[in-house]
Structure 1
Amino acid sequence: MRLWLAGLIALGLPLTAQPQAQAQDKPIQKALLADMFRDHAVLQRDRAVPVWGEAKPGETVTLSFGSARVTALTDATGHWRADLPPLPAGGPYVLTAATGTAKQTVSDVLVGDVFLCSGQSNMEWNLKDTIGAADQIATSQNNTLRMMTVQKTQAFTRQSHFAIPTEWQIASPATTPNWSAVCYNFARDLQTHVNVPIGLINASWGGSKIQPWMSRGALQKLGGYEDGLAMLDAYAADQSKAAQTYGQAFMRWWQASKGPGTPWAVTPRALSGWAAAPDVSRNFEDWGVKGLSDYNGPLWYATTVRLSAAEAKQGATLSLGAIDDIDLTFVNGVAVGYTSAPPEPRHYKLAPGTLKAGDNVIVVQAVDLWAKGGMFGDAVRELRLANGTAKPLQSGWHYWQPPQNVRQPPTAPWDPTGGMITLHQAMIAPIGPYALTGALWYQGESNTGEAAKYEGLMAGLMADWRQQFGPDTAFLLVQLANFGAIPTAPVESGWAGVREAQRLAALNDKRAAYAVTIDIGNPLDIHPRDKLTVGKRLSRAAQSLIYKAPLSPSGGVPIEATRANGQVTVRFARLDGALKTSSGDTAVRFELCGEGVGTCQYADARLAGDAVVLSGPSAAMATRVRYCWGDSPVCNLTDATLPVSPFEIEVK
């Protein structure tokens, strides 16, 4: 009791709360309140708060919260919704929903600001695995900071409930180690500037592209996703048939990408040209084969199984054990299954007619996204015929490593991280119209192969989520950190393209801002461990964008590039103090570019107040300026507080 009282007093919050209920008046068979409304929840302050749930059709639901009391009538399907009136920050309160036959009470509810944190692994990354974690965890006791973590799952139809139960947790050394580090550090820093409770909803999944987090309507509005959505619907109805359809699409991609031959249809004779797989119970990195010890990408496996005519007429189940990360499996040149779940054993049903008398070729494209890859584990690998006969597949495998141009195969629409809409339907839709202050988005690494689309996708996601959470929902984007090759000459870069798309998406949206991280990444690690600085920069962006603090949200922004006297001048706005360099006497990694690819050249840069003056052989003809471009560029332009973001701007 003293601990949470101390927390409220420290934040100056009102203590005139409804007494905590000791127990529910009567047990209920089914929760009246939606999944979001559980003990220790945080509701949004200073606006009407939607509350919803389910009861019997035609029942009246009475909702009580503090001194507020509202009613709602369930519709023909039993769903109801009521809006609580705006309340200032404070608590704890009790939220009660009651009908004539049931009652549900939610205790220890605070009112403050609520943020949704989403994206891929850098948002998911746990606090315990970051720099300075021990001290941050030890000092994390805070009754007014709470998080709900949505468990990872996908769905092929829009869900109103979470498949895996969720709970609100109070910040403490016992809970925060497994919290999203970026999300937690953002809120912890924000509370030193904004004196209210903060509720965090973490819905993130490592390796996920942006498309799975968007609704069907959002992708339809963007266009170009019709075939994938139709294939997704087909998969929900018949997985085997959908796998064949995806296999055909994969073959078209392979041919368009000028992939060599048709490895999915390798013949028994041609298979002798593939290398023998040392041990399919171990990841291929552990084989001791040169070129595979640190390889990420697809590796093709194949083996044969001989059947009699009678055996070939039967249906069967193909079991392959676990495969890291994604497999696309063929039998006799026909796709029979696709799974994206490393620890999940593969079991694919083969309809009668799939097999043939003589040698049947089983081919597996195993796509390793990071770390260990390929087949692994001691699971039984076999072809089990309908009559119960098992044909072992533990040995006799060969492998082939494809060339570079076909090492990024397209993912299936039902792939949880690389597909479309399924994470939205399972992890975002059940959040419902829960009132938010804003959303934090740290994602983009998995979309660097389609950087040209990302600005439109990001704008589409923001519009999509605002339809669910409200038109004033703010968005705080984390720009991709430096990772990968350090350029020594001007290069094209999907990573740089996504950074620019993130910058433009935020600048073109009056309710969005971004945090620059180009200086705090790790060229050798896609998961930089400094999540504290990321959180603080997101907090600064929120203070500026949402709470109207007199701060630049993201550092200097180029506003124009003009040519005069054989030089190009780039002027900046939103500076915190004068431009300067973080190292050396001159700014580096400015490029003057023409219209086409490969036309960029490094330029000499001179600081001039709020501008940078560029000179060089291409200054007279340049049509674009790029700064800090590449996967992991080393650049040094800052203002008094923040690094200047990588950018590209037209010369006028």
Structure 2
Amino acid sequence: MLKPASLFTDGAVLCRRKEIRVFGDVSEGLTVTVRLLSREGTLLGEGSARAEGTRFLVSLPPQEAQAGCRLVIQAGDEQAEADDVAIGEVFLAGGQSNMELELRNADEGPEIIRQYDDPLLRFFNVPKQSVQGPAQQKAVAETRWQAVSPGTGGVNSAVAYFFAAMLRERIPEIPVGIIGCYWGGTSVTCWMEEDVLRTEPEGVRYLEEYEALTAGKSMETWQEEENLFQETFGAWCSKVDEYKQSHPGAPWADIEAACGFVPWNPPAGPGSPYRPAGLAVTMVREIVPVTLTGILFYQGEEDTGKTDHYDTLLTLLIRTWRKLFRDEALPFLFVQLPMWVDQNGIDTFRWPLLRKAQAAVRDAVPGTGMICLLDQGEYGNIHPTAKRPVGERLAELAGIMLYGAGEVSPRALDLTPQGDTLSIRLSAPVQFRGETAALLEIAGADGSYVPARAEIRGDRLLLRADSIRQPVHARYAWTDYAAQVPFFGENNLPLEPFDF
């Protein structure tokens, strides 16, 4: 038996300039040899390793970007081959629904799908399976890389597509591969295994709360409840699809008015994709330890109401994934949550708290970067369909972190009290857009915030309020949602929210 992981089949994209790891299953005890050949048939690299149990892992030396290669994998009398293999940049795209949102459902998506054609931009989407077993194994075994070509790829992540398309435009000689590993509605804790979560009190709390919620529910009972939920939810989704076809561009409020509110009440249980530690086993484990250029991550919505310590959990995820993918400095690029509040909902102030936690991770964990989407939220719609700005801002961030040039949002660096004024030093000058400098607040030692007036002076914001004689605190955009944000950098990217 020789079964290389599906990542190493026809059309695979391997990571350039790093050790290339090839893995899969084989008969116990056999030695596996892997050869990588160029388009011309020249041997680029070769490696061998004896299987540990029925699992093999072979390392090949780093290679430069190219295409048309071939992998030859041998064990005993068996041989497996992969043709049309490319070597370039490989990014893991992870998270929840805003990373999952498919290109066919994004602005510009349908038109792009009809026209795009780039054989060196390829996607591998890890099957969304929440339960280990034959169905999951079959889905994983059948998954293949898919190159971008007209009429295909509508189910790929829109964010990841726009990110990759910009990279391909800027570095056309380098192939780009995206490994999609995401599931809408998931907590950050879904993507770490139980032993990892138990190393942090907040991880333990998530595990214990979910265990209490399921109350010993059997897999059979959960499956019955899940089938009923999928039937109800599927019918609603079909109704929404029909409405969208007959009402192109309809706002979310009209869709809900016509189709009813989302019947989102998935049952808890031992097979739920929303259980802590679940997808870490059924999805992430299937692609470990593939060699990566970096990770793209868009997640956090599910945890806004569940934790005051998202920074602890996100830091744990970064540390864990870097260990799994065998790269302590693996670049981790993530998305700060945009503005959002549910239609007719009240401000919970949970979203700014999570945004602050995300920024804290960026500031504290080396090799991480964050993009700001403060100007991209939609009232009443937690899934904005404008995904080009998200993907392209991630590509700009990658430009800074990996390629030496790119544009990111200005951010506040520090605060200095100056009598009745607070001076906020920024990473770059900003411009004011709007009628009033909304969303800026200052407070004295008592922590009671009031709206502030702002004066822009070079790379500083000077904040004052008549009722605060000795201000010591300042914050910007401390709200779940605002229709407009007033400050942008000279590069047209929004000023990051801050809280000092």
Coarse TM-score class (shorter-chain normalised)? 0.7 to 0.9
- CA contact under 8 A between 1:485 and 1:631: conserved in structure 2? no
- Unaligned 5+ segments in structure 1 are 1-29, 245-315, 326-339, 345-369, 376-408
Is residue 2:60 matched to residue 1:84?
A: yes
2:52 is the counterpart of 1:114: no
Which residue of structure 2 lines up, in the alignment, with residue 558 of structure 1?
412
Query: Counterparts of 2:114 and 2:375 in 1: how far apart (Å)?
Result: 27
Instruction: Report what 2:495 is aligned to.
Output: 644
2:109 pairs with one of 109, 130, 133: 133
Identity %: 28
Q: Does 1:97 align with 2:73?
A: yes
Q: Within 2, Cα distance between the matches of 1:579 and 1:529? A: 27
Q: Is the 8 A contact 1:591 1:625 kept in 2?
A: yes
| Equivalent residues of 2:202, 2:309 under 8 A apart | no
Whether the 8 Å CA contact 1:162–1:430 is kept in 2: the answer is no
Residues 331-381 of structure 1: CA distance to partner in whole angstroms, max 9, x if unpaired?
xxxxxxxxx99569xxxxxxxxxxxxxxxxxxxxxxxxx933289xxxxxx
Using the TM superposition, give the Cα deviation of residue 65 of structure 1 relative to its aligned residue in structure 2, in angstroms: 0.5
> Which runs of structure 2 are paired with 1:605-644 in the superposition (5 Å)?
605-617=454-466, 619-633=468-482, 634-641=484-491, 642-644=493-495
Distance 2:471 2:480 in 1: 23
Q: Give the match for residue 262 of structure 2.
A: 372
**What is the CA-CA distance between 1:648 and the residue it aligns to?**
1.0
Q: Aligned in 2, Cα 1:233/1:527: closer, same or farther, shift over 3 Å?
A: closer
Residue 350 of structure 2 aligns with an amino acid whose one-letter code is G
Match of 2:431 in 1: 580
| Distance in 1 separating the partners of 2:358 and 2:132 | 28
Aligned to 1:473: 330
Per the normalisation by structure 1, the TM-score is 0.65
The CA deviation at 1:225 is: 3.8
Q: CA deviation at 1:95?
A: 0.6
For the 8 Å contact 2:411–2:497, the answer to whether it is kept is no
Residue 217 (structure 1) aligned with residue 166 (structure 2): no
Structure 1 counterpart of 2:34: 63
Deviations 1:394-424 (A, max 9, x none): xxxxxxxxxxxxxxx9x85747343201011
- Secondary structure of residue in 1 paired with 2:309: helix
Distance (whole Å) between structure 2 residues aligned to residue 317 and residue 463 of structure 1? 32
Q: Note the C-alpha offset of 1:232.
A: 7.5
Q: CA deviation at 1:144?
A: 0.5
Structure 1 residues 519-576: Cα deviation after superposition (integer angstroms, max 9, x where no partner)? 1221121111110111110100110012222x34x31121111111211111111x2x
Matches within 5 A, 1:242-391: 242-243=216-217, 323-324=228-229, 342=233, 371-373=261-263
Alpha-carbon distance between aligned partners in 1 of 2:223 and 2:165, rounded to the nearest angstrom: 50
Q: 2: CA distance between counterparts of 1:324 and 1:623?
A: 51
Whether 1:517 and 2:368 are equivalent positions in the alignment is: no
Query: Aligned residue for 2:165?
Result: 188
User: For the residues of structure 2 that align with 1:106 and 1:233, how far apart are their CA atoms?
Assistant: 43
Contact 2:412 2:496 in 1 (8 A): no
SS of 2:169 mapped into structure 1: coil
SS, match of residue 147 in structure 1:
strand
Tell me the CA shift for residue 124 of structure 1: 0.7
Match of 2:357 among 497, 501, 514: 501
Flag the 1:194–1:341 CA change in 2: closer, same or farther, 3 A: farther
- 2:5 counterpart SS class: coil
Paired with 1:548 and 1:69, the residues of 2 have a C-alpha distance of 32
* 8 A Cα contact 2:310 2:354, kept in partner: yes
Residue 571 of structure 1 corresponds to which residue in structure 2?
Answer: 425
1:455 aligns with 2:306: no
Q: Is the 8 A contact 2:475 2:498 kept in 1?
A: yes
Equivalent residues of 1:413, 1:419 under 8 A apart = yes
The amino acid of 2:102's aligned partner reads N
User: Is the Cα contact below 8 Å between 2:93 and 2:182 reproduced in 1?
Assistant: yes
Task: Measure how far apart 1:174 and its partner are.
Answer: 2.3
Give 1:36's aligned residue: 7
For 2:304, what is the secondary structure of its paired residue?
A: helix
Q: Is the 8 A contact 1:149 1:201 kept in 2?
A: yes
2-structure distance, mates of 1:629, 1:537: 22
- Structure 1 window deviating more from structure 2 (219-228 vs 165-174): it is 219-228
* Residues matched between the structures, number: 462
List per-residue Cα deviations over 1:176-207 (Å, max 9, x = no partner): 22211000000001122234100001111111
2:21 aligned partner: 50
Query: What is the alpha-carbon root mean square deviation over aligned residues?
Result: 3.3
Q: Is the Cα contact below 8 Å between 1:32 and 1:54 reproduced in 2?
A: yes
- 1:206 counterpart (167, 184, 206): 184
2:157 corresponds to which letter in structure 1? S
Q: Take 1:473 and 1:374, find their aligned partners in 2: how far apart are those partners?
A: 35
TM-score using structure 2 length: 0.84
1:153 counterpart = 2:135:
no
- Deviation of 1:442 after TM superposition, in Å, equals 0.9
Q: Secondary structure at the match of 2:353?
A: helix
Does 2:144 match 1:167? yes
Give the partner amino acid of 2:119: N
SS of equivalent residue, structure 1 residue 449: coil
Question: How far 1:431 sits from its partner (Å)?
Answer: 0.4
User: What do the CA deviations read for 1:75-109 (whole angstroms, capped 9, x no partner)?
Assistant: 3x122211111100002111111122211111111
2:156 is aligned, of 176, 179, 198, to: 179
- Quickly say closer, same or farther: Cα 1:505–1:78, change in 2 above 3 A: same
SS of equivalent residue, structure 2 residue 378: coil
Separation in 2 of the partners of 1:557 and 1:231?
36
1:462 alignment partner, SS class: helix
The answer on whether the counterparts of 1:231 and 1:242 sit within 8 Å (CA) in structure 2 is: no
After superposition, the Cα gap between the structure-2 partners of 1:172 and 1:445, relative to the gap in structure 1 and judged at 3 Å, is same
Query: Structure 2 CA distance, aligned partners of 1:485 and 1:213?
Result: 26
| Contact 1:57-1:74 at 8 Å conserved across structures | yes
Structure 2 residue runs of 5 or longer lacking an equivalent are: 38-42, 236-259
Contact in 2 for aligned 1:605/1:612 (Cα 8 Å): yes
Q: Contact between 1:163 and 1:426, CA under 8 Å: does it hold in 2?
A: no
In the alignment, the residues of structure 2 paired with residue 432 and residue 162 of structure 1 have an alpha-carbon distance, to the nearest angstrom, of 18
1:429 and 1:59 map into 2 onto residues whose CA distance is 22
> What's the secondary structure of 1:452's corresponding residue?
coil
Q: In structure 2, which of residues 449, 463, 466 is the aligned counterpart of residue 600 of structure 1? A: 449
Partner letter of residue 170 of structure 2?
H
The 1:601–1:324 alpha-carbon spacing in structure 2 relative to 1, beyond 3 Å, is farther
